[in-house]
Structure 1
């Protein structure tokens, strides 16, 4: 299970990194093929489907890394949706400030939490703990 979890975490780090470019494009163009209401939902992207899906056991869900990542992931989506709302409403300056402020901060926190979780999984795997 740890190998699958590490792959999911690596994929999530890459996918969430791409959001900054998507949002910057929406700010410049004033449009997006994704609605803010959809972006706000933290269970529709690949990481969200994994976090809320059936592949994670109760022990993993009860653990602090999971709890922290799930909370930060939800905050990331809230922030991305707010940036997108501003971008689609033509509030470019406000959207840009949010992108470089709150969104960037939440994105970095999420990536740090995912990286830490991955490190803990790798340590457990190298020690032969878990499965």
Structure 2
């Protein structure tokens, strides 16, 4: 396992994660409309199935690495995002597009998604600051 600053990829990984999760959320909405998923609900609910989740799992939590201050919070938000998206996907798999849409458009899912993106942006700024020192 490596720390983020050792890999030198923190900024790019987080940028890619922000773009990928925004795109993924759009595709989930399209899947609700179609009534068919690109992956199973089980896969969607697991936070280690996307590239960002795999990258997070590869990191060590070195307490002396300042880029890791937000690591646990980001990891938790990311896991919650996938769990909630998995609940939406279960409804799509079960043919209940209305329930899936209701969960997708719920204030809770919207807040969770926005919180993840905002915190990823903050974490990305931390990496930029470290790299510019």
TM-score norm. by structure 1 comes to: 0.85
Structure 1: give runs of 5+ residues left out of the alignment: none
Aligned residues: 125
Find out whether 1:27 has 2:39 as its counterpart: no
> What's 2:116 paired with?
110
Secondary structure at 1:47 match in 2: helix
Measured after TM superposition, the shift of residue 3 of structure 1 is 4.4
C-alpha contact 1:27 1:88 (8 A) present in aligned 2: no
Q: Deviations over 1:37-84 (max 9, x none)?
A: 01111112101100001xx34315993310110000000000111111
Please point out which of 58, 61, 84 is paired with 2:89.
84
Gaps of 5+ in 2: none
Shift of 1:103: 2.5
Alpha-carbon RMSD: 2.0
Corresponding residue for residue 131 of structure 2: 125
- Report the Cα distance in structure 2 between the residues aligned to 1:5 and 1:123, rounded to whole angstroms: 11
- Matched with 2:42 is 37
8 A Cα contact 2:18 2:117, kept in partner? yes
